């Protein structure tokens, strides 16, 4: 069975370019082509929800020139992919501190989010100016304010309620996270949501990650046995012999 919700940490653009003697922005541009192909492939293969870690809260600390280049690429993606998103029934959403995005990015992004809101063939979630710790903190602050104002009793807070205050509220549980470029870490991506997600690490850098690499990752996921902290039925059966 395919993952209900696939998350991808798109890593390795800069190193891909540097290995070729090119500026880092060249790797980001090539990575943008991977985004287009992977989104299209995921939709065609029937993945219901895809979240792409496009720009982290910590990425604002990169050199101003690189940040500006990334914002320009984001703008171009939203504008250029408008028809692809609408013609294929993709619902676009974005999570993170979107107020930090430049106005020229916010305008077409929010417009496409509104326009695609009723599309139901696939949900594409862009994590922009996003951090997992920051997501958890903002959810905790929202709940604390509701308790302080008397709208809620602290004893009412449970996992379901907490999840409803996260940026990903309403999305399916995160089933699979892919990280490219060979790094073996999760880099502050969907920390709460990742509790029982399967992790798939590949040495392939993001600009080289296209449909065949996505298919390989999904095949590996399908072959895994997910137990969610429980004992597999076949192990229980064996133990009872």
The catalytic residue positions are 11, 59
Tokens at residue 155, please?
A: 């004893």
Helices (H), ranges, the chain: 13-18, 24-45, 64-80, 82-87, 103-115, 132-148, 159-163, 211-222, 233-239
- Element holding 91 (H helix, E strand): strand 90-95
Tokens at residue 28, please?
A: 């980001």
Tokens at residue 61, please?
A: 């600390």
Q: How many CA atoms lie within 13 A of 6 on its CB side?
A: 27
- Residues 122-154, buried b or exposed e (16+ Cβ, 10 A)? bbbbbbbbbbbebbbeebeeebeebeeeeeeee
């Amino acid at each position: 069975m395919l993952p209900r919700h696939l998350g991808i940490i798109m890593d390795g653009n800069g190193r891909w370019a540097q290995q070729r003697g090119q500026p880092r922005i060249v790797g980001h541009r090539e990575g943008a082509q991977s985004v287009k192909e992977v989104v299209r492939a995921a939709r065609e293969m029937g993945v219901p929800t895809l979240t792409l870690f496009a720009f982290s809260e910590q990425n604002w600390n990169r050199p101003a020139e690189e940040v500006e280049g990334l914002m320009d690429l984001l703008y171009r993606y939203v504008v250029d992919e408008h028809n692809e998103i609408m013609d294929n029934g993709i619902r676009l959403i974005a999570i993170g501190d979107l107020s930090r995005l430049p106005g020229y990015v916010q305008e077409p992004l929010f417009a496409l989010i509104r326009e695609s809101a009723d599309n139901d063939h696939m949900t594409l979630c862009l994590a922009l100016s996003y951090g997992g710790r920051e997501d958890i903190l903002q959810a905790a602050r929202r709940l604390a304010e509701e308790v302080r104002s008397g709208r809620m009793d602290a004893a009412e807070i449970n996992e379901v309620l907490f999840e409803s205050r996260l940026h990903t509220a309403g999305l399916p549980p995160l089933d699979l996270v892919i990280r490219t470029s060979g790094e073996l870490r999760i880099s502050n991506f969907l920390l709460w949501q990742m509790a029982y997600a399967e992790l798939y690490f590949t040495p392939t850098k993001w600009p080289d990650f296209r449909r065949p690499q996505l298919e390989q990752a999904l095949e590996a996921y399908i072959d895994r046995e997910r137990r969610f902290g429980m004992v597999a039925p076949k192990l229980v059966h064996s133990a009872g012999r």
